[in-house]
């Protein structure tokens, strides 16, 4: 078979179609011109790493909270820096 490049989305769709059981793996591989070995590698990758999809959402929410906290703290630091500069100026006078 000719070597082809597949997008992640295409690989995912092919594997899902194979897992649905509506078509045999042989027919599926012929339809998309994919070797059965390649199909099973993609399937195994999906089954092995599929759970990370759900943890990615939690990571994103956590990252959003952390980014908001960083913004808030930087704002406080900025305000305190301005107050400190004002106090230094007043003390010099």
**Rounded mean pLDDT of the chain?**
90
| Same domain membership, residue 33 and residue 11 | yes
2: pLDDT strictly greater than 80: no
Question: What's the domain range around 64?
Answer: 54-93
Answer yes or no: is pLDDT of 58 > 70. Answer: no
Torsion over CA: 35, 37, 38, 43 (sign): positive
- The whole-number pLDDT of residue 57 equals 65
Q: Do 21 and 64 belong to one domain?
A: no
Q: What is the dihedral of CA 63, 65, 69, 75, to 10 degrees?
A: 100
More confident residue, 63 or 14: 14
Q: How confident is the model at residue 33 (pLDDT cuts 50, 70, 90)?
A: very high
Q: What pLDDT is attached to residue 93?
A: 82
Same domain membership, residue 70 and residue 44: no
Q: Model confidence at 35, in pLDDT bands (50, 70, 90)?
A: very high
CA distances 83 to 37, 46, 70, Å, are 67, 55, 20
CA angle, residues 52, 48, 23, in degrees to nearest 5 = 110
pTM here is 0.58
Domain check: are 65 and 25 in the same one? no
Higher pLDDT, 14 or 60: 14
Q: Answer yes or no: do 37 and 74 share one domain.
A: no
Same domain, 44 and 68: no
Domain count, the chain: 2
DSSP letter for 82, please: H
């Amino acid at each position: 078979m000719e070597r082809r490049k597949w997008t992640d989305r295409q690989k995912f769709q092919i594997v899902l179609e194979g897992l649905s059981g509506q078509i045999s793996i042989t027919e599926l591989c012929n339809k998309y011109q994919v070797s059965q070995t390649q199909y099973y590698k993609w399937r195994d990758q999906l089954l092995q790493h599929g759970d990370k999809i759900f943890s990615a959402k939690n990571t994103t929410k956590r990252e959003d909270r952390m980014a908001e906290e960083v913004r808030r703290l930087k704002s406080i630091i900025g305000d305190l820096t301005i107050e400190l500069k004002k106090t230094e100026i007043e003390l010099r006078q």
